[in-house]
Amino acid sequence: MRDLSIIVLAAGQGTRMKSRLPKVLHQVANRSMLGHVLGLAQDMQPARLVVVHGPGEEGAAVAAEARAQAPDVLLAEQAERLGTGHAVMQALPALEGFGGTVLVLYGDVPLLRREVLQELLALVSAERPVAVLGFEAADPGSYGRLLTTADGQELEAIVEAKDATPEQLRISLCNSGVMAVDAGLLRRLLPRLSADNRQGEYYLTDLVALARGEELRVGLALCDEQDVLGVNDRVQLAEAERVMQRRLREQAMRAGATFTAPDTVFLSVDTEIGRDVIIGPFVVFGPGVRVADDVVIHSHCHLEGAVVEQGAQVGPFARLRPGAVIEAGAKVGNFVEIKNATVEVGAKVNHLSYIGDARVGADANIGAGTITCNYDGYMKHRTDIGKGAFIGSNTALVAPVKVGDGALVAAGSTITRDVPENALAIERAEQRMSEGWAARYRERKAAEKARRKG
């Protein structure tokens, strides 16, 4: 949309978050709130995208996140926090020469949807150069109230709650803060904003009254309240997470995945889940997970930065850490941790094992209690387990080490040297027997105990 530019206001201090982290950097579904807003903004392909951030270290952190999420972003600093109108003023230099529609978004409103913004933008025209996004609030509280025309289709004014009369406070139609304005009108009206109000701030919402004063029409688009949920404290952050998780689960299920207990599964915004996937209760997806078709993920698993290919099975109680690749038909069982390792086609790591910095070859079998000793206190080292190899239970593979195709490692071994193909490796003390020793031992101890009591 080359006739669209977007300004994202992200300079708020967020004191109610009680956090050293800037408010807009707090995460919902493992992406910063600012990241959600910028993702939506980029999806609309604006001609220019501007983020207004605050001063100092906090502002620098917000600017860095903005660049990370949107490399082509333009940045503007709001050194003094004098309201939303003042913030938009700081962005105007970045819009020099632009003549289309300017959309104003907020970095702490992570649940907005593209279709809502498209409805808002569709209202902007030569006859109606301003449009505002509103919603019916269950509890209007401190929201600005929308005063409409008699037919309810257009706006007359926006009144901030602190400046509203008792009658106006009874209005439930509220302002989201999201606004679309013709760029030329925005440049002309912003200098006319006044800070003559209880907050001593320049309200962007006063543009509506200024536009109406010039007998210009102001459009009104409506959305669900949750679409424009603003996050100001940890309680609202949790509510945003709840809504986002519900959306992500529904999206995955409608695309062909089965969640046996949906409310217990937590997804990241970038989680990819294929068709005919079955996900059990209490599964958590961190960032960067892709799950192919026909996969089964049993209960109480945690996945992050991992790929699970078609028909593989994971869990229950498994952990896939970054770099884990579980290939087609492979199995990762209970209390198994995989990190930076590939479990190839048809291989099995079924019980109580740690496989890190390794390759487990196709159709290999890893016995219970096996670990790859990948860290020497200074550096990480790789373990390579060949195709069809069999690793006995309670084996320690001290990396760097290679087990050849078809090789067998006896249970209880500590392997420190490479094992050739089809070889048997045994590293343990020879088993010895003393016939009748256990009975004689018990008799001796029983007699000793009796003496002590006597």
Residues 260 and 283: their CA atoms lie apart, in Å, by 11
Coil, strand, or helix at residue 69? helix
First and final C-alpha spacing in the chain: 97
Question: Burial of 401 by CB count in 10 Å (0-12 exposed, 13-18 middle, 19+ buried)?
Answer: buried
Strand 155-159 to 145-148 pairing: antiparallel
Place of tokens 């995460």: 27
Annotated catalytic residue: which of 26, 86, 302, 351?
Answer: 351
Structure token digits, residue 67: 């660049």
- Closest Cα partner for 183 from 51, 7, 10? 7
Q: How far apart are CA 225 and CA 219, in angstroms?
A: 18
Tokens of 34: 């600012």
Burial category of 191 from C-beta neighbours within 10 Å (exposed 0-12, middle 13-18, buried 19 and up)? exposed
Q: What is the 3 state secondary structure string of 271-340? A: CEECCCCEECCCCEECCCCEECCCCEECCCCEECCCEECCCCEECCCCEECCCCEECCCCEEEECCEEEE
> What span, in angstroms and rounded, lies between the C-alpha atoms of 1 and 160?
32
DSSP 101: E
Question: Which residues in 11-107 belong to E strands, given as ranges?
Answer: 27-28, 31-32, 48-53, 74-77, 101-106
Strand partners, 75: 51
421 Cα distance to chain centroid: 44
Joined together, the tokens standing for residue 56 give 């100092």
Whether 351 is catalytic: yes
State the DSSP code for 422: T
CA angle at 132 for the pair 127 and 137, rounded to the nearest 5°: 145
Across 97-109, b (16+ Cβ under 10 Å) vs e yields ebebbbbbbbbbb
What's the rounded Cα separation, in Å, for the pair 416 and 239? 52
> Could you list the active site residues?
351
